[in-house]
Structure 1
Amino acid sequence: MEAVESNVQHGDSAGGRPSSTKKDRRNTWASAFILVNNFLQYTAYFGVSTNLVNYLKFRLHESSKSAANNVTNWQGTGSITPLLAAYLADAFLGRYWTILIFIIISILGYGVVTVSAAAALQGSVFYAGLYLVALGGGLLVVMAPFGADQFDESDEVERRRQSSFFNWFYLSLNCGSLIGGTVVVWVQTSVGWGIGYGIPAIFCAISAAVFLAGTATYRRDRLPGGSPLTRIAQVVVAAVRKYDVVVPADASLLLHECDDVDGDVGDAGDGVIQGGRRLVHTAQFSDKASPSPWRLCTVTQVEELKCVLRLLPVWATGIIYAAAYTQMSTTFILQGDTLDPRVAGFKVPAAVLSVFDTLSVMLWVPLYDRAIVPLARRATGHDRGFTQLARMGVGLVVLTLAMLVAGALEVARRRVIARHGILDDGYLPMSIFWQVPQYVVVGASEVFTFIGQMEFFYDQAPDGMRSLCSALSSTSFALGNYASSAIVAVVARATARGGRLGWIPDDINRGHLDDFFWLLAVLCVGNFAAYLVIARWYTYKKTVD
């Protein structure tokens, strides 16, 4: 599973400055400002999104179907805006200014939502604010690459700290979702919608102040390099024009790279984007796009396209992972709705159990970062403990175990139905807290796969496309949601033929949800098998010192 990672050290566009106490303090403070900002932003986001369907139903008086569709439409828009923000960051604005601009858009959005909720304005005003929030949310996918930019990749110690940063970044995200999805939601339902939406607006405004406060500590030498899509198009056009060129046995005779004309590698005079690094030629894919930029492309420019092409198969394996992961918000809840939710006189809604997934992440991040990585580093000799592909692969296996745990609970649940029946209040004589293990296992898989994806897509993307590739990795999660819906639809129809109820009927006590979980486990195994092939084929990016 572990493709061999290059030992070539990454160059530093800022000139390979050595580590120092002063520099350590600077990127520590920069990381702290970014992590706090991320926590505040995600608290605000989940403070709005978690309970949105209820606001649309009870305050805007929409039907259940209309409210559900409007929520998914809004979330779908929110999954597209990161691509826009990432493109602007890589091509024109740079990550710092992109984050600042989109924070301002978010503040406007949360402000409009708050005013609309407090003054009971018409729905069009509320939706205007809501979609401004979706647009401003594009900054979140730029934040992780900007945080990783604070570390010098040519320094071994800082490479380790950069890897650690992604762990703590994901932890701050989950802390935000925990506060936003519990405390803020409680305020909305118990105190009022105006105050409940005002809190996210305040958090977003504070996040802007925090981000600006850290300006002096940020490293901002990753300059925008123009449209990465244009650079890719130039390679494709040049390759088409040279489709009939015969590649010599020695590919170096064909390859073209501009010489360093001024001793500053990575400036415009080298044919490399400013702030970027040259890429070493690799043997994967053909090199016929090798002085108009639409006729003759540099090695680095061709390798940029190769980097993207190599990322796509890895990206695709994230779709099935996400489809299984999203069962937490669908079939896990259906399963939990039938179990006894009573604890000391209170009823625990099935959806609330997702907090154990968050708590699991909060436990596993420091455990992974402070215990597992040092042990793995001694065993493997790898500065990150595991290669990025190995880390993601472990998460794929762990999620398979989560589906098996959910299936085993469903088998036990059906046995309880057969032996004891259903109580008068409609619940089974089986506590809802039997679901906790499957949520905990899902959380463990996130720490390996989701964080591994963030680090992998940042590290393996070309320097001028890091924000865009980071945004691309997040789209696999959106496609996983669509894949989950498709799988459920196909299974429901295929298993309900001939008058049968099928695996997922309206009354799941009469269905076979266990078979559905077994199917997901099989899909996860197949996905992992494909991932092994891709990981063995993958060639890690190499840069010229």
Structure 2
Amino acid sequence: MAKKGGWVTFPFIIAANMGVTFAYGGMVFNLMVYLIQDFNIKKINAAQIFTVVNGCIQTFPLLGAIIADSFLGCYSVIWISSIILSLGTLFLVIIASFSKLKPMKCVKGSDPNLCGTPSSFQLGILYTSLALVAFGVGVKRYNIGPMGASQLNTRKQQTRFFNWYVFTMYLFIGISTISIGYVGGKFGWAWGFAISGAVNILGLAVYLSGTRFYRRSKPQGGSPFVALVRVVVVAIRKRKLSLSEKMEDYCQEPGIDQDIITIPSTFFRFFNRAALKLEGETTPEGLIRNPWRLCTVKEVEDLKSLIKLLPLWSSAILVNVPLIIQYSSTLLQALTMDHHLGSHFQIPPSSINIFVFIGTCSTIFLLDRFILPMWEKLNRRPMTLLQRVAIGHVVDIVCMIVSALVEIKRLNVVKLHNLENKNDSVVPMSVFWLVPGLVLSGIGEGFHIPGNFAFNYQEFPAGLKSTSNGIVGLAIGLAFYIGTALIEYVKKGTNWMPDNINKGRLDNVFWLVGIIGGINFGYFLVCSYLYEYRKVEEEEISGDEDFK
């Protein structure tokens, strides 16, 4: 039988990534405009719904990862979530096609307060559709990463895979945001959503066609998180026992080669008691009689590795908050500005975030092809993943500074033309003033997003590889919720973000987030300085050529 896995699987797996990210960009990144135009939802409320949906997309992957690691495996979870995404897309197409499922459309120039508001039934159908889309996108997208990385054997190859995984993710989000935004505005959102769903189905078909090439990992047969809980429980039960210095007193994996025996680390030595063998706890063959009375050293070390990762993971939450603020606030700015590109063409407001994707894709391409090889040549060692993440932190802080300065400029133009009380008037300032902040946001993501994916995949225990990507998604999801809470706090406690942002101080929000980012960066530096990378034996795939 031919050896499975390797770079031959890359086109099939990346096609699935292209399909789901195209659907994500087409439906979710045009969501604010759709809600404002077709559901008569106020701008700030639409921004909040957008943020919550994105938060769900980032938190659902953890559930999908647990299912993949414990029961079904990545392969099955990907195609099942694709079907759920297709169902949610179908609902959105139906909503966009029938007027009874939407409130009465506003007449241009009429009082916004007189427009129809969506009924509870209409909102219920809408939210159900969005929940299905969020679940399908989140679970599928974040299982594709570990599915692809598991086809490769070395850290270098896996890191390169995550570079191109994130590259295609952002590339197709950008393409779909513009193309579906144009189709939705020109021909109707039913067509836009239908095209998004069709591309996802096409990507699924390509993914399934590569089934014979995939190396499919076997699920654990029970939640690996239960094993982690067992370590805590057993260690507490044996808390009064004295630790031994003899390796034979600790329980190893049954049948393990003595040459690769796991030695209990001194980090969090308390948990070593969980692997301390007592008389009668193992069979003559070395099997554990009751896993709630004795754990293996490997299980103990798996728990410790996750505990060591927690501080760095927590820093990844706040590094994503600028991204969330950028996505929602920039669109509010863009809706008030001049969208013309030349005398005849106008850029759809929802398409302005394309510059984030351009910044991310350009950064990843330059990193993979030029910057990282040059760094390795000059320093005689590769750039570490945590160094990449650190650069992302710094760029995000600079992004907030630039965004604050641009907003100050926009508010000065508003005052100059007495537009403070004219929410629907176009501020005579090009929307392209927003580009520098958006590109910087993309550059920051190009460093820290694939860096965090590869770092977590590399450092997580072998049985939790799907969860490694899900935990990154969870950090981004929590960032969306923190961003939402921050916006709500600002709205209630200050006058910085009224529905008419021409009367607000959005620049102060950017300054605030920049300060939070600076504090978080200091925390990250301390955590990364204290962190020790796992020592993992690497095995090259025989005959597997590097990706060109």
For normalisation by structure 2, the TM-score amounts to 0.81
The residue aligned with 2:145 is: 144
Give the 3 Å change call, closer, same or farther, for CA 297–526 of structure 1 in structure 2: same
Distance 1:440 1:279 in 2: 46
Preserved contact between residue 102 and residue 135 of structure 1 (Cα < 8 Å): yes
The residue aligned with 2:189 is: 193
The residue aligned with 2:108 is: none
The residue aligned with 1:132 is: 132
The residue aligned with 1:177 is: 173
The residue aligned with 1:401 is: 398
Give the 3 Å change call, closer, same or farther, for CA 369–189 of structure 1 in structure 2: same
The residue aligned with 1:104 is: 83
The residue aligned with 1:319 is: 317
The residue aligned with 1:289 is: 274
Preserved contact between residue 320 and residue 476 of structure 2 (Cα < 8 Å): yes
Deviation at 1:420, TM superposition (A): 7.1
What amino acid does structure 2 have at the position aligned with 1:211?
A: Y
Preserved contact between residue 247 and residue 254 of structure 1 (Cα < 8 Å): no
Preserved contact between residue 7 and residue 152 of structure 2 (Cα < 8 Å): no
Deviation at 1:61, TM superposition (A): 7.1
Give the 3 Å change call, closer, same or farther, for CA 233–219 of structure 1 in structure 2: same
* 2:258 matches 1:258: no
Preserved contact between residue 421 and residue 428 of structure 1 (Cα < 8 Å): no
What amino acid does structure 2 have at the position aligned with 1:401?
A: V
What amino acid does structure 2 have at the position aligned with 1:32?
A: P
Distance 2:129 2:503 in 1: 43
* 2:465 matches 1:466: yes
1:540 to 502, 524, 533: 533
Deviation at 1:172, TM superposition (A): 0.9
Distance 1:204 1:190 in 2: 22
* 2:206 matches 1:210: yes
Distance 1:430 1:522 in 2: 27
Distance 1:65 1:334 in 2: 8
The residue aligned with 1:241 is: 237
The residue aligned with 2:329 is: 331
| Unaligned 5+ runs, structure 2 | 102-121, 276-280, 282-289, 539-548
Which 10-residue stretch deviates more, 368-377 or 38-47? Answer: 38-47
Identity across aligned pairs (percent)? 31
What amino acid does structure 2 have at the position aligned with 1:317?
A: S
Distance 2:317 2:169 in 1: 21
Give the 3 Å change call, closer, same or farther, for CA 505–62 of structure 1 in structure 2: closer
The Cα RMSD (Å) is 3.2
Distance 1:189 1:429 in 2: 23
What do residues 208-244 of structure 1 show as CA deviations (whole Å, max 9, x unaligned)? 2101111122122454352111101110111110122
Preserved contact between residue 9 and residue 151 of structure 2 (Cα < 8 Å): yes
What do residues 125-159 of structure 1 show as CA deviations (whole Å, max 9, x unaligned)? 66555433333221211110000001013xxxxx3
Preserved contact between residue 33 and residue 214 of structure 1 (Cα < 8 Å): yes
Give the 3 Å change call, closer, same or farther, for CA 475–150 of structure 1 in structure 2: same
Distance 2:504 2:194 in 1: 43
Deviation at 1:395, TM superposition (A): 0.4
Deviation at 1:107, TM superposition (A): 3.0
Number of equivalences = 497
What do residues 83-120 of structure 1 show as CA deviations (whole Å, max 9, x unaligned)? 22111110011111221222233333334443554466
What do residues 2-22 of structure 1 show as CA deviations (whole Å, max 9, x unaligned)? xxxxxxxxxxxxxxxxxxxx9
Q: Secondary structure at the match of 2:273?
A: coil
What amino acid does structure 2 have at the position aligned with 1:184?
A: I
The residue aligned with 1:28 is: 7
Distance 2:502 2:522 in 1: 33
1:51 to 15, 26, 30: 30
Give the 3 Å change call, closer, same or farther, for CA 280–182 of structure 1 in structure 2: farther
Give the 3 Å change call, closer, same or farther, for CA 397–140 of structure 1 in structure 2: same
For normalisation by structure 1, the TM-score amounts to 0.81
Give the 3 Å change call, closer, same or farther, for CA 109–521 of structure 1 in structure 2: closer
The residue aligned with 2:523 is: 530
1:222-237 equivalences under 5 Å are 222-237=218-233
Which 10-residue stretch deviates more, 417-426 or 202-211? Answer: 417-426
The residue aligned with 2:342 is: 344
Deviation at 1:207, TM superposition (A): 1.7
The residue aligned with 1:451 is: 450
What amino acid does structure 2 have at the position aligned with 1:451?
A: P
Distance 2:146 2:82 in 1: 16
Preserved contact between residue 188 and residue 195 of structure 1 (Cα < 8 Å): yes
Preserved contact between residue 407 and residue 514 of structure 1 (Cα < 8 Å): yes
Distance 1:91 1:281 in 2: 25
What amino acid does structure 2 have at the position aligned with 1:102?
A: S
Give the 3 Å change call, closer, same or farther, for CA 519–188 of structure 1 in structure 2: closer
What amino acid does structure 2 have at the position aligned with 1:28?
A: W
The residue aligned with 1:3 is: none
Preserved contact between residue 404 and residue 506 of structure 2 (Cα < 8 Å): yes
* 2:15 matches 1:40: no
What amino acid does structure 1 have at the position aligned with 2:475?
A: S
1:410 to 407, 410, 432: 407
Distance 2:442 2:40 in 1: 35
1:495-514 equivalences under 5 Å are 496=494, 502-505=495-498, 508-509=501-502, 511-514=504-507
Distance 1:514 1:73 in 2: 23
Distance 1:125 1:489 in 2: 25
Give the 3 Å change call, closer, same or farther, for CA 504–26 of structure 1 in structure 2: closer
1:43-82 equivalences under 5 Å are 43-53=22-32, 55=34, 74-82=53-61
Preserved contact between residue 149 and residue 222 of structure 1 (Cα < 8 Å): no
Deviation at 1:402, TM superposition (A): 0.7
Give the 3 Å change call, closer, same or farther, for CA 528–278 of structure 1 in structure 2: farther
1:487-502 equivalences under 5 Å are 487-491=486-490, 496=494, 502=495
| Unaligned 5+ runs, structure 1 | 1-21, 154-158, 266-276, 497-501
Deviation at 1:525, TM superposition (A): 1.3
1:164 to 157, 160, 179: 160
Q: Secondary structure at the match of 1:288?
A: helix
Deviation at 1:339, TM superposition (A): 4.3
Give the 3 Å change call, closer, same or farther, for CA 466–523 of structure 1 in structure 2: same
Distance 2:478 2:438 in 1: 22
The residue aligned with 2:356 is: 357
Distance 1:415 1:59 in 2: 32
Which 10-residue stretch deviates more, 296-305 or 418-427? Answer: 418-427
Distance 1:52 1:351 in 2: 9
What amino acid does structure 2 have at the position aligned with 1:288?
A: R
Deviation at 1:121, TM superposition (A): 7.4
